[in-house]
C-alpha cells in the first residue's frame, strides 16, 4: 500500500475491472502455492518504524512534506498525516550480524532525521501514541497530500454510506468520539516486522506469530494515553481497529479468523472473499507481479498479515508482517523486541508438536486483547491449561525458549546478550513504555506536555526504557 495511485474517485466499472484482474491473479496465485513456486530461503527480516514530527511545545507539527523533501532519503517516506513519517530498514538475513546491521542503519538514518528536523525547528519522536495529540488535529487539513490517502478516506466513508466513524475505548477512563474521516488512524504509530519465511514452513510461522502476539504486544506496549485519557496499555490496538471500519460484516483490522491449516493462500482467499475492494485503481504491472492481489491485500490491516514480495531474480517470496508492537522508546528496546519475536516464532514453528494444536484460536485471540489492554499486568491462558501472569510466563518459559532459538538461528552472541539484558530488565522492573508513561502522567497530574518532555529527554539518552527514571 505504499504505491501511489492515479486518481481518488472510482466508478462501478473501475470496481468491476479491478475484481476481474484480482480473480485472474488469484487463479495464478493458487498455481504458485500448489507448485511450491515461492522462495525456500532461510529467514530474513525487514522493518518499518513510524515516527512523529513535533515542535518545541511538544505538539505535532504537520510539516512532513518539507521535512522529507529536505531529508531526501528514499527509505524515509510519508505517512497518513502530515505530522508522521516512516523509516524503512533494508532487509537482512537473521543469522550473524543481520539485526545489528539493521540497528546501525536505522540509528544513522535517525540521526540524520534529527539533524534535518532541528534545522526546520522541529524534533522527531518514536512513541505508540503522542500524548499531546488532540482530537481536533486529526482532520483532513493535516492529511498528507497523496492520492492514495485521499482515496482511502473517500472510499471508507462511501462504504459506510456516510456514517461517521464511532470511536469508543474503555480502559481506566472511557473515551468516545465521532469522526467523519479516517485520520484517527494517524494517532497510532507502530513497528512492523517483516519476516521472510520458506514456503514449506510458512503456515507454522504464521500460526506461531498469532500465538506470540500477546507477548510481543505486552512487552512493547507504549500507548496508554489518548486525548488526555488513560486507556489500554496499547491503545493503538482498539484505535486502529475502529479508525478504518468500513461497516461491513468483516472488519479490515482484526486479529484474524483462525489458524491456517494448509497454506498461506487461505489468507489471500479470505481477503478476496470477505472484503470489498477499497481502492479499485488501474495498475500497470504484469500479472506475474501480483499487483491487484497485493493492492487488495494491502488494504486489509490485520495484526499479522501474509505478504508477497520478489527476489532480485523475480522469484516470489512470502513474508509474515507482524504489526502489534508500538513504536519503541529506544532503538535498543526495538531490536530486543524484534529479536524476541523472531526467536519465539522460530521456536514455535520448528518444535516437534505444533503450538496451534496445543491451544485453541479463541484463547490466543483473547490473550492478545487482554495483553494489549493490561500490558505487563495481563493474565493469560497457556498451553498447560493454567492462567499465568505475562511477566512470569515470559521470564520463566518464553524468554529462555526464544533465546535458545536465537542461538540456533545463528544470531550473533552479542545481539542475544543485549536482548536478554534488556528484556529481563524490563520484566524485573515491570517497566515498559506504557507503565513509564502511566507513572509520569500521575506524577505530573495529567499534564501530557510534561509527560512528553520527560519522555523525550529519556529517549535522547538512547537507553532502554527499563532504566528510565
Instruction: Say if residues 399 and 423 touch (Cβ distance below 8 Å).
Output: yes
Radius of gyration of the chain (CA): 21
Secondary structure letter of residue 221 according to DSSP: -
Q: Any residues with CB less than 8 A from the CB of 346 and at least 6 apart, and which?
A: 43, 205, 208, 405, 408, 409
Q: Which three cell numbers stand for residue 366?
A: 483473547
What's the pLDDT score for residue 435? Answer: 98
What's the pLDDT score for residue 268? Answer: 98
The 3-state DSSP composition of the chain as helix, strand, coil percent (nearest 5) reads 50, 15, 35
Q: Which neighbouring-strand residues pair with 88?
A: 48
What's the pLDDT score for residue 2? Answer: 52
In whole angstroms, what is the distance from residue 189 CA to residue 208 CA?
A: 24
- Measuring CA to CA, which residue among 52, 56, 195 is closest to residue 110? 52
- Measuring CA to CA, which residue among 280, 338, 301, 323 is closest to residue 92? 338
What's the pLDDT score for residue 1? Answer: 40
Q: Helix, strand or coil for residue 131? A: coil
In whole angstroms, what is the distance from residue 331 CA to residue 336 CA?
A: 9
Place of cell 506469530: 209
Instruction: Say if residues 264 and 202 touch (Cβ distance below 8 Å).
Output: yes
- Measuring CA to CA, which residue among 323, 278, 333 is closest to residue 301? 323
In whole angstroms, what is the distance from residue 311 CA to residue 132 CA?
A: 42
> How many Cβ atoms are within 10 Å of 79's Cβ, its own excluded?
20
Instruction: Say if residues 126 and 327 touch (Cβ distance below 8 Å).
Output: yes
In whole angstroms, what is the distance from residue 41 CA to residue 93 CA?
A: 10
In whole angstroms, what is the distance from residue 306 CA to residue 324 CA?
A: 14
- Provide the Cα torsion 399, 240, 190, 465; round to 10°: -60
DSSP secondary structure string, 284-335? Answer: -S-GGG-HHHHHHHTT---SEEEEEEE-TTS-EEEEEEE--PBPPSSHHHHH
Alpha carbon of 13 to those of 10, 38, 260, 280, 372: distances in Å? Answer: 8, 33, 34, 9, 41
What's the pLDDT score for residue 5? Answer: 75
In whole angstroms, what is the distance from residue 32 CA to residue 310 CA?
A: 13
Q: Which three cell numbers stand for residue 20?
A: 476481474
Q: Which neighbouring-strand residues pair with 253?
A: none
Secondary structure letter of residue 51 according to DSSP: E
- Measuring CA to CA, which residue among 55, 233, 63, 224 is closest to residue 131? 224
In whole angstroms, what is the distance from residue 421 CA to residue 467 CA?
A: 11
What's the pLDDT score for residue 112? Answer: 98
Instruction: Say if residues 78 and 65 touch (Cβ distance below 8 Å).
Output: yes
Find the helix packing angle between 265-274 and 12-34, rounded to 10°: 160
Helices and strands, number each (H, E), in the chain: 15, 13
Compute CA 178 distance to the chain's CA centroid, rounded to the nearest angstrom.
24
- Measuring CA to CA, which residue among 100, 73, 98, 95 is closest to residue 86? 73
pLDDT string in tens for the chain (469-residue length) = 456 677 778 999 999 999 999 999 999 999 999 999 999 999 999 999 999 999 999 999 999 999 999 999 999 999 999 999 999 999 999 999 999 999 999 999 999 999 999 999 999 999 999 999 999 999 999 999 999 999 999 999 999 999 999 999 999 999 999 999 999 999 999 999 999 999 999 999 999 999 999 999 999 999 999 999 999 999 999 999 999 999 889 999 999 999 999 999 999 999 999 999 999 999 989 999 999 999 999 999 999 999 999 999 999 999 999 999 999 999 999 999 999 999 999 999 999 999 999 999 999 999 999 999 999 999 999 999 999 999 999 999 999 999 999 999 999 999 999 999 999 999 999 999 999 999 999 999 999 999 999 999 999 999 999 999 9
> What sections of 221-306 are H helices per DSSP?
236-243, 265-274, 291-297
> What sections of 35-97 are H helices per DSSP?
64-71
Q: Residue 249 phi/psi, 5° resolution? A: -70, -20
- Measuring CA to CA, which residue among 400, 433, 413, 423 is closest to residue 99? 413
Amino acid at each position: 500500500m505504499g504505491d501511489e495511485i492515479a486518481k481518488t474517485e472510482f466508478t462501478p466499472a473501475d470496481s468491476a475491472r479491478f475484481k476481474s484482474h484480482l480473480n485472474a491473479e488469484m487463479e495464478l496465485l493458487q498455481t504458485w502455492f500448489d507448485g511450491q513456486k515461492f522462495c525456500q530461503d532461510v529467514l530474513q527480516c525487514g522493518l518499518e518504524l513510524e515516527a512523529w514530527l513535533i515542535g518545541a511545545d511538544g505538539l505535532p507539527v504537520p510539516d512532513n512534506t518539507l521535512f522529507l523533501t529536505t531529508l531526501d532519503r528514499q527509505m524515509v517516506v510519508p505517512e497518513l498525516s502530515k505530522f508522521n513519517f516512516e523509516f524503512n530498514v533494508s532487509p537482512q538475513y537473521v543469522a550473524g550480524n543481520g539485526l545489528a546491521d539493521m540497528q546501525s542503519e536505522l540509528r544513522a538514518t535517525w540521526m540524520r532525521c534529527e539533524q534535518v528536523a532541528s534545522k526546520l525547528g522541529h524534533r522527531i519522536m518514536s512513541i505508540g501514541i503522542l500524548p499531546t495529540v488532540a482530537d481536533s488535529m486529526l482532520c483532513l487539513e493535516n492529511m498528507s497530500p497523496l492520492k492514495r490517502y485521499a482515496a482511502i478516506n473517500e472510499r471508507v466513508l462511501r462504504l459506510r454510506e456516510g456514517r461517521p466513524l464511532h470511536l469508543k475505548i474503555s480502559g481506566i477512563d472511557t473515551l468516545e468520539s465521532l469522526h467523519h474521516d479516517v485520520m484517527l488512524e494517524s494517532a497510532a504509530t507502530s513497528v512492523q516486522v517483516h519476516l521472510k519465511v520458506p514456503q514449506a514452513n510458512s503456515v507454522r510461522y504464521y500460526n506461531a506469530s498469532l500465538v506470540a502476539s500477546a507477548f510481543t504486544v505486552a512487552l512493547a506496549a507504549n500507548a496508554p494515553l489518548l486525548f488526555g485519557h488513560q486507556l489500554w496499555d496499547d491503545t493503538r490496538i482498539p484505535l486502529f481497529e475502529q479508525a478504518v471500519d468500513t461497516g461491513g460484516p468483516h472488519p479490515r483490522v482484526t486479529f484474524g479468523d483462525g489458524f491456517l491449516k494448509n497454506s498461506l493462500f487461505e489468507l489471500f482467499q479470505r481477503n478476496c472473499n470477505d472484503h470489498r475492494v477499497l481502492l479499485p485503481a488501474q495498475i500497470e504491472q504484469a500479472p506475474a507481479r501480483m499487483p491487484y492481489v497485493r493492492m487488495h491485500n494491502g488494504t486489509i490491516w490485520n495484526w499479522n498479515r501474509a505478504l508477497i514480495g520478489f527476489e532480485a531474480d523475480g522469484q516470489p517470496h512470502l513474508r509474515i508482517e507482524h504489526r502489534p508492537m508500538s513504536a519503541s522508546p529506544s532503538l535498543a528496546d526495538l531490536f530486543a523486541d524484534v529479536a524476541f519475536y523472531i526467536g519465539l516464532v522460530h521456536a514455535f514453528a520448528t518444535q516437534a508438536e505444533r503450538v496451534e494444536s496445543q491451544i485453541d484460536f479463541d484463547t490466543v485471540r483473547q490473550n492478545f486483547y487482554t495483553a494489549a489492554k493490561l500490558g505487563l499486568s495481563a493474565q493469560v491462558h497457556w498451553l498447560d491449561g493454567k492462567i499465568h501472569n505475562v511477566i512470569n510466563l515470559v521470564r520463566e518459559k518464553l524468554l529462555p525458549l526464544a533465546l535458545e532459538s536465537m542461538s540456533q538461528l545463528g544470531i550473533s552472541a552479542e545481539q542475544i546478550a543485549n536482548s536478554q539484558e534488556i528484556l529481563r530488565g524490563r520484566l524485573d522492573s515491570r517497566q515498559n513504555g506504557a507503565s513509564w508513561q502511566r507513572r509520569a502522567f500521575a506524577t505530573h497530574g495529567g499534564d501530557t506536555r510534561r509527560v512528553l518532555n520527560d519522555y523525550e529527554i529519556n529517549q535522547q539518552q538512547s537507553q532502554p526504557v527499563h532504566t528510565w527514571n
